[in-house]
Chains A and B, each alone.
Chain A
Amino acid sequence: MPKIILIGASHKTAPVELREKLAFSQEEIETALEFIKQDSGIKEGLVFSTCNRLEFLYIPGNGVLEDKDRIDAVMQFISKLKKLPVSEFKSSLYIHRDDDAVRHLFCVAASLDSMVVGEPQILGQVKKAYKTAARVGVTGVLLNRLMHKSFSVAKRVRKQTGIGDNAVSISYAAIELAHKIFADLATKSVMLIGAGEMAELAVEHLMTHQVKDIVVVNRTFKNALELARKFNGQAVQYEERESALADVDIIISSTGATDYVLTRDQVKGIMKKRQNNTLFFIDIAVPRDIDPRINKISNAYVYDIDDLRNIVETNMSRREQETVRAQRFVEEALLAFRRWLDELAVVPTIKAINRKMTDIVNLECEKTLAGLPHLSKDDTESIRRMTRAIASRAIHDPILFLRNTGDHRDDSFYLNVARQLFNLDIPDHNY
Chain B
Amino acid sequence: MSMNIPFILLQCATFFYLISTAGYFCYLFYQKDRIQQTALGAVGIGAVVHLFAIVLQSAALGGLPIYTLGQSLSMAGLSLAAMFLYVQYRFHLKILGVYATAMITVLMLASIFLPEATQAPDKIYKGIFFFGHIILIFTGESMLALACGAGILYLLQEQGIKGKSPGFFFKRLPSLDFLDAVSYTCITTGFALLTFGLVTGFIYARSVWGSFWRWDVKEVFSLGAWLVYAVLLHLRLYSGWRGRNSAIMSVIGFIILIFTFLGVNSFLGGHHQGFTQ
Give the interface of A toward B (CB within 8 A): 165, 177, 179-184, 272, 274-278, 295, 298-299, 301, 303, 307, 310-311
Contact = CB atoms under 8 A, between A and B. Distances in A.
B234 to A, nearest CB: 14
Contact of B170 (A180, A183, A298, A310): A180
B182 to A, nearest CB: 10
Given A180-B170, A310-B164, A275 B157 contact: no
A364 B174 CA distance: 65
Contacts of B245: 298
A177 B177 CA distance: 12
A180 B180 CA distance: 12
Contacts of A310: 164
Nearest to A165: B171
Interface in B241-260: 241-245
Contact of B243 (A177, A299, A311): A299
Contacts of B207: none
Contact of B240 (A165, A272, A301, A307): A272
Contacts of A278: 176-177, 243
A183 B173 CA distance: 12
Interface of B: 157, 161-162, 164, 166, 170-171, 173-178, 181, 239-245
A179 to B, nearest CB: 6
A298 B84 CA distance: 29
B10 to A, nearest CB: 39
Nearest to B238: A275
22 contacts: A177-B161, A180-B157, A180-B173, A180-B175, A180-B176, A181-B177, A182-B177, A183-B174, A183-B181, A275-B239, A275-B242, A277-B240, A278-B176, A295-B162, A298-B243, A298-B244, A298-B245, A299-B243, A299-B244, A301-B162, A307-B164, A310-B164
B244 A181 contact: no
Contact of B175 (A183, A298, A311): A183
Contacts of B171: 165
A293 to B, nearest CB: 13
Contacts of A311: 164, 166
Contacts of B177: 181-184, 278
The 5 tightest CB contacts between A and B, nearest first, are A275-B240, A276-B240, A183-B177, A183-B178, A299-B243
B185 to A, nearest CB: 13
A180 B156 CA distance: 12
Contact of B166 (A180, A277, A298): A180
Contacts, number: 54
Contacts of B242: 275-277, 299
Nearest to A315: B166
Contacts of A274: 240
B166 A276 contact: no
A301 B161 contact: yes
Contacts of B241: 276
Nearest to A159: B32
A250 to B, nearest CB: 12
Contacts of A298: 243-245
A141 B162 CA distance: 55
Contacts of B175: 179-183
B82 to A, nearest CB: 26
Nearest to B242: A276
Contact of A276 (B162, B176, B243): B243
A180 B240 contact: no
A309 to B, nearest CB: 11
Contacts of A295: 162
Nearest to A302: B164
B240 A177 contact: no
A299 B162 CA distance: 9
A276 B166 CA distance: 23
A179 B176 CA distance: 9
B139 to A, nearest CB: 26
A326 B161 CA distance: 30
Nearest to A185: B175
A272 B239 CA distance: 8
A288 B166 CA distance: 22
Contacts of A272: 240
A303 B243 contact: no
Nearest to A306: B164
Contacts of A299: 242-244
Contacts of A301: 161-162
A184 B180 CA distance: 13
A274, A298, A299, A310: residue with the most chain B Cβ atoms closer than 10 Å: A299
A274 B243 CA distance: 13
Nearest to A276: B240
A299 B171 CA distance: 20
Nearest to A310: B164
B243 A181 contact: no
A90 B166 CA distance: 45
A165 B177 CA distance: 22
Contacts of A182: 175-177
Contacts of A179: 175
B2 to A, nearest CB: 51
A311 B173 CA distance: 17
B150 to A, nearest CB: 13
Given A299-B244, A301-B161, A177 B176 contact: no
B164 A303 contact: yes
Contact of B176 (A165, A181, A184): A181
B161, B166, B239, B241: residue with the most chain A Cβ atoms closer than 10 Å: B166
A182 B242 CA distance: 13
B175 to A, nearest CB: 5
Given A183-B178, A299-B243, A311-B166, 6 more contacts: A180-B174, A184-B177, A274-B240, A275-B240, A278-B177, A311-B164
A55 B166 CA distance: 38
